Amino acid sequence: MTAPFVILAILAIAGATAAMTLRKLVHCALALAVCFVGLAGLYLNLNAQFVGLVQILVYVGAVVILIVFAILLTRHDELPAQTSRTRIAGLGVSALVFALLAWAVTAGGAKFGAAGTQPEAAIKDIGSALMQRYVLPLEVVGLLLTAALIGAVVIAMEEKKSK
């Protein structure tokens, strides 16, 4: 528990909490961006430069912007104060997920040993792993995403023409 870790963890948790509790949707999206930056800082703190920087580039630069666009392009009146009826179930599910993750982390830590050897993944290693060993999954994912992108455009275009 070093000082940078504590600061970044507080940033991430505060951002996540604010994203859940704030009333205006755009505020929530901005708080989510703060949370993502905190997570990226944690990755950078672990010497995972590539993952940390891509986290900022993709999540802050693209995902949050996309969320914000979705909020602006759809109707968003001021939400009345409301309580969900499935609140208890939601709490139960999130507690279960948390328990599962906590168990995985603690059990995995015991298995692999939390000894001081910090794995250094240079960006070159990540690149050659993606391009050699995992090239087929990478291509499949690329094809899938391209298909999804073109599909989205096609659906949007047809709607426009039928008007």
CB of 95 to other proteins, least distance (A): 33
CB of 124 to other proteins, least distance (A): 8
Q: How far apart are CA 18 and CA 142, in angstroms?
A: 34
Give 106 or 128: the residue with its C-beta nearer to other proteins: 128
Q: How far apart are CA 20 and CA 11, in angstroms?
A: 14
CB of 50 to other proteins, least distance (A): 6
Give 57 or 95: the residue with its C-beta nearer to other proteins: 57
Give 16 or 60: the residue with its C-beta nearer to other proteins: 60
Q: How far apart are CA 157 and CA 4, in angstroms?
A: 48
Q: Which two tokens stand for residue 98?
A: 């948390």
Give 105 or 149: the residue with its C-beta nearer to other proteins: 149
C-alpha pair distances (Å), 37 with each of 44, 58, 60, 64, 77: 10, 11, 7, 11, 28
Q: How far apart are CA 17 and CA 32, in angstroms?
A: 9
**Could you list the residues that contact other proteins (CB under 8 A)?**
26-27, 30, 33, 49-50, 53-54, 56-57, 60-62, 64-65, 68-69, 72, 122-123
